[in-house]
Chains A and B, each alone.
Chain A
């Protein structure tokens, strides 16, 4: 590729450190990657960092803290700053829609090297277009693995977030609903659009340790992270849900493993119905025996 000698030397002399605005800042990553690819920046010469603007007491994390190079030298550039660099004319890299959404999801994963991995694949793709079709390429399979895990966490979040009404917040007869959730990956932003579309006429908030999101009936607001004790206590109405959970269980079909595969234990502490599981499992055999005897 024909590159501008000035800009390419600025890149190759030492590391180029890119500082993204969020742990899941895919748009920033994309913007930066576009420039880096045009400059043909080698993947090993690029370092990715991100800010944790909403987390309290959490400094900016260096994604390469565990890397062989130790401390990172060089200039930290934001994607916007990077966009100011003069670029040689290049063919932009084109990706399929589903490839793009896989990359976006992979960037929500909590793996420290996620941005580096995605950039490495893009850089390889740029020099070898056949890679686009190679669904079994090991970098791509790893990206897919991250995307799958993050996508699953988003799906589980849509499923397992439990809202509780907050006493004393009633307006027009409706209390505000608050949920506490601990996602494993950086998926809160990616997951919250779903709740906006589902509950636009309800005031709700989802609190997580890293950041929180609040719907005020008009817009989604991001707020700092929270702790479990800031979430509301169970209300009287929750008993109905527990009653339902107890009654819909068929003791003659006990299959704990199947349940745990889809609802792993790590989610149990924030699911109100999970307190019933051990009692239901313990009583299942006896109940079935009695049914077979009568």
Chain B
């Protein structure tokens, strides 16, 4: 089979993985090197598909042959999809060619399981090794890791890759048992733990080395210590399929929160279960719940950047599900009106972050500006934010909402109406805020960081 035919099959087979991030690696370039590639911290989306998703990496499978039979997967053993297999050399050549054209930031390589987990993992690692060692490629490499592969292979993978990921697949062990009987939730968790330990260790070594310096004799050449071996500097991520089983949003966020806290994950991706050709009869027949996926990303954001705990976000009486009509921060505020209106001149940062419509950057600007003077309505307008939402919940030097309005049972409806005329809510993916100006300390906020 020709490369182009294989590419068509193996890119199609890989497109259900949501992650395309190319961030988290700072200050690497090819000056002084023999090859090409750089990574400057902020990921770059080189194109966008009509599904709104960013194309940052060449996202392909090494092969879509697979010995497993996971129900939700297009590549499962029992699917009659057309099969193909790349050689390591083909993947290397494709990556370098697309990179040279400036079409991608690097490679995201995954694979169906062939022969054994170890054999498959060896093939993946070989591609990464060849790119790094044979071609001095300094672009981004993300490797999907196979949970039960040998620890030595995992160690090697982290040396070549910028990011490793192991998919948790489903929010609960029961869901996994039901839809992916050959996979094992304990094993997945334990492999994530191993990767997390490796990452932690590499970080510590890097820090302790930076703290101690070598003292050279006067007149002698300055000596530098060898760098400690790197290990997935872009961290670890995972993906959960939403809507293929009956797990609630509360269960999903509980799992995510455990992953962020327990294994220090950089990102949990939520992938609305997508209809696939030749689907298994065990799966729901429906279009993917894209809005639900969007709300989960917003909730995830609240946990990571806004100081919300997972159990706060899903409201009591909601049956464990997020409100589809309102974003979760607004829904939370409507259910907790006793805390509002928030006085923008006096409230501490953690409370400003809870005001619907105020983002991390806006909060920073407000905090800075109020050091010099007291904030007025006109200042809020300078921020170009969704004032329709904000004004219901805040108080300024020259603006005081009426208590009765805030307590009115009609507020929810009014807000929905106002917002439908205002700013478009659906910022689904790839939103990127160039880091500049006053926000030197904030990190990049992007759904696909």
Contacts and interface: CB of A to CB of B under 8 A. Distances in A.
B54 interface: yes
Given A197-B30, A248-B14, A273 B430 contact: no
B437 A102 contact: yes
Interface stretch (B284-292, B316-324, B346-354): B284-292
A291 B369 contact: no
A159 interface: yes
Given A98-B439, A240-B97, A249-B51, A155 B15 contact: no
A259 B101 contact: no
A175 to B, nearest CB: 10
23 contacts: A97-B440, A98-B437, A105-B436, A144-B438, A148-B436, A155-B44, A161-B102, A179-B102, A202-B36, A241-B101, A245-B49, A247-B7, A247-B11, A247-B12, A248-B14, A249-B49, A253-B272, A254-B51, A255-B290, A258-B430, A277-B50, A284-B50, A288-B287
Interface string A115-143: 00000000000000010011110100100
Given A245-B47, A250-B51, A198 B369 contact: no
Looking at chain A's contact residues, the main secondary structure is helix
Interface residues of A, number: 74
A102 B436 contact: yes
Interface in B276-324: 276-279, 285-288, 290
A251 B46 CA distance: 20
Contact of B51 (A163, A237, A241, A255): A255
B20 to A, nearest CB: 9
Given A201-B33, A255-B51, A262-B431, 13 more contacts: A98-B437, A134-B368, A136-B365, A151-B436, A152-B434, A161-B102, A194-B38, A240-B94, A247-B8, A249-B15, A253-B52, A259-B48, A292-B287
A91 interface: no
Interface residues of B, number: 80
Contact of B102 (A133, A135, A163, A262): A163
A244 B7 contact: yes
B274 interface: yes
Contacts of B383: 136
Interface in B1-45: 3-4, 7-9, 11-12, 14-16, 29-31, 33-38, 40, 42, 44-45
A255 B69 CA distance: 30
